[in-house]
Each structure stands twice: as C-alpha cells, then as structure tokens.
Amino acid sequence: MIRTCGILCAAGGRVSFLLAGLLTGGLVSIPTYADNLLHHNGVGRVYDPYVLPLERELELRTYYQTDDDPFESDILRQRVGFGAAINERVFAELYLIGMKMPGRAMRLQSYELESKIQLTEQGEYAADWGLLVEYERERSESVAEFATTLLVSRQWGNWVGTVNLGVEYEFGSNIRNEFDSFMSAQWRLRYRESLEPGIEIYADEFTRGIGPVLTGLVRGSGNQKWHWEAGIIVPANDTTPDYTYRVLLEYEF
Amino acid sequence: MTPSRQPSGNVGRKLKCQMRRLTGAALCCVAMSAQAQTPVFEIEIREHLFYPSELKIPAGQKVKLVIHNRDATPEEFESYELNREKVIIGNTQGVVFIGPLKPGEYPFFGEFNPKTAQGKVIVE
C-alpha cells in the first residue's frame, strides 16, 4: 500500500539508512526537517509467508480512522482484491483501493498488484520465510510505489509470531522519489480455529501503532473458507491517528 | 618458482579429481546427517482415504511426512491441531514437517473430502 496517501506538502530531504536499519530491526527513516503527509496511515495487515496451490480468494479490507484533528478524522479506506495461486510457491492478488473523506463519496484512489512467494516449507526450519512484492499506482496522480517485504513467522507452542519487514520506493512526477521502510508484527494465540486473539504493531516513517486484534476461520462446504480479522490500533506517536479500526474478510475457494 | 615444485599436468588433474570426490563425499555426509536428524514417515491418499489413518511418531522430535496422493484429484492435508495445511495435486507428493510435539493425538483430514479422508497423528 502506498504510504503516501495524500500530497507531499513540504519539500525536504531525509537521511535513510535502509539496510542497516532493517538488519538491526529498526526503522530507518530519519526526517531531517519537516515532512508533512496528509491522511497518511501505515496500518495495514500482517502477512503470513504461506501459499496454498489451487487457492483463490476474494478479499475486502476496511480501515476507518478517527483523530482529534478533524482534518485527519472520519476517513474510510477500503480495498477489494482478487487473488489466485499461480503455482505451489507463488500467489498473486490484484486490488482496487478506495478512500472516502468526510462529506465526500468513496473514490477509487489506486490499483495494486502484489505477489507472495513462499520461500521455505512450513516447520522445516526454525522460522518460516516468505517474500511479498507489491506495485501500487495512483489513479489520478503520477505517484507509484514498489515495495518488497520479508515475511517471517515462527510458532512457539500455541503462540505464533509473525514479522513483516519491508522497503519501498516511491516515485513519480507528483512526489519526491525516495526510499522508505516499514514494519508490522503480530503475536497471536492459537486459541481455536474460529477465534485467535493477538496483538499487532505497525511502524513506518510516520506511523507508530499498536493494538489488539481478533482473527478466525469459518469453514464452508468443501474447500470454502471465510477468514476474518478485526482490530483497533492506537498511536504511540503524534503522527498516527488516535484510533484506526480495521476489518478484513477473505473468502477462499 | 621452480618447475620441480609444480605438479605435472597429470598429477594436477588427479588432485583436482580427488578434491571433487572429497567435496562430493562431504556434501553427501552433510545431507545424510541432515536427513538422519529428521525421521521420515509416509502417508498415502487413495480413493479419498489416508493410509495409514493413524500414524505414530515420537514425542519431542520434528518429523517429515511425505504424503503421496495416488488419486487423480487434489487433496488438502489439513490439521488445526498440527497447524498445517498442504494441498497435494493429484498423482504427486507433498512434504509436511510437524513437531516437535507433546504426547497426544492430533487429528487431520482431507479438506476436499472431509467426510472420508480423516486420520490422526499419535505422538508417544
């Protein structure tokens, strides 16, 4: 997802130590002077590193944010996707991404193509590894983004920890070309298939958010499944919205 | 550098050949050692049934399940208790790593034929 959901207002440079930051597990963007992004919210989802051959899915994700700043409050984002496994290791998905500002209609904002690659067999090594490659393009502005994310997951008894570490390159004539990095993580209890509580963390150049999440799986007939996630992310800094409510629904068939 | 200190062409070739053999043997040992650390168990899917339907494995040890799907249709080995799901295309085989597990019974089923394809892993 494009982290720059609005207009880059202030010109300015930043120093980013991308690889070193990723290796140390930290975020790498160090603003040198004021960056100001409108309607930015780095809350997304935490991806596991697994691909199932023959799987197809329809996905609906909704994000709603509120904030004490009325200009950053009452913003609704939605993304609709269709994905299918290309082979035993690769899953591709195409998204349409919309955004609704207060008092306005929902507007198609961008398109995204993502591909998830399973790198290791589940349980074969101490952790399971995957890679996510994304390309997103704004519909009405010359703004695009290319991102690569490392997906790592490990199970400890009934607990599963998953970390996504990514680097993105934003480019276009309506944006300053730059690298950014981002991270998300989930710590989840495998309580029962239909209900798994957990906690999620999101961080990028502007976002620092943490909050509870509930996930689950409901089986239909045959190989049909409904996967759902719901969470509330609260800020750990001043540039993250006060509350971000997120809901995800996947129909797998 | 004196010519007498250089191996002749034949000697050089023999040395290279021996080095290749040693490297190959070392790699083979490493592979065998890695395989020896992970016991392998085999399961077959035939006419939408698992054979064996009960599989005993040792506790506290990672094992490798090789699942042969003898049917022409795909099947999905699935188990919430084992935290595994794996689609195996018809007439192919798939690998699932499970464990280390505590003693107990861990049911699994075939998602495409859940009424018939059922089984359990017994850890003891």
pLDDT score at A29: 43
B54 and B27 co-located in one domain:
no
Q: Structural domains in chain A?
A: 14-252 (2.40.160.40)
Neighbours of A182 (CB within 10 A): 23
B75 and B22 co-located in one domain:
no
Number of domains in chain B: 2
Cβ-based burial of A192 (10 A; exposed 0-12, middle 13-18, buried ≥19): exposed
Mean pLDDT of chain A: 88
Of residues B62, B89, B97, nearest to A53 (C-beta): B89
Of residues A190, A192, A223, nearest to B76 (C-beta): A223
B96·A155 Cβ contact <8 A: no
Cβ-based burial of B13 (10 A; exposed 0-12, middle 13-18, buried ≥19): exposed
Model confidence over A51-84: pLDDT tens digits? 999 999 999 999 999 999 998 999 999 999 999 9
Model confidence over A114-152: pLDDT tens digits? 999 999 999 999 999 999 999 999 999 999 999 999 999
Decide: B70 and B44 in contact? Cβ < 8 Å. Answer: yes
B91: containing domain? 40-123
Chain B residues with CB-CB distance to A54 below 8 A: 74, 87, 89
B48 and B25 co-located in one domain:
no
Chain B residues with CB-CB distance to A84 below 8 A: none
Alpha-carbon distance B19 to nearest alpha carbon in chain A (angstroms): 31
B28 and B46 co-located in one domain:
no
A223·B83 Cβ contact <8 A: no
B15 and B74 co-located in one domain:
no
Model confidence over A170-211: pLDDT tens digits? 999 988 999 999 999 999 999 999 999 999 999 999 999 999
B93 and B52 co-located in one domain:
yes
B83 and B47 co-located in one domain:
yes
Alpha-carbon distance A216 to nearest alpha carbon in chain B (angstroms): 12
The pTM of this model reads: 0.82
pLDDT score at B13: 56
B65 and B95 co-located in one domain:
yes
Distance, CA of A65 to CA of A195 (rounded, Å): 24
Residue B91 lies in a domain: yes
Whether complex ipTM tops 0.95: no
Task: Identify residue A33 by its one-letter amino acid code.
Answer: Y
Domain containing residue B59: CATH number? 2.60.40.420
B44 and B99 co-located in one domain:
yes
B89·A160 Cβ contact <8 A: no
B49 and B16 co-located in one domain:
no
Q: Which of A124, A129, A192 to mutate to test the interface with B (most CBs of B within 10 A)?
A: A124
B55 and B116 co-located in one domain:
yes
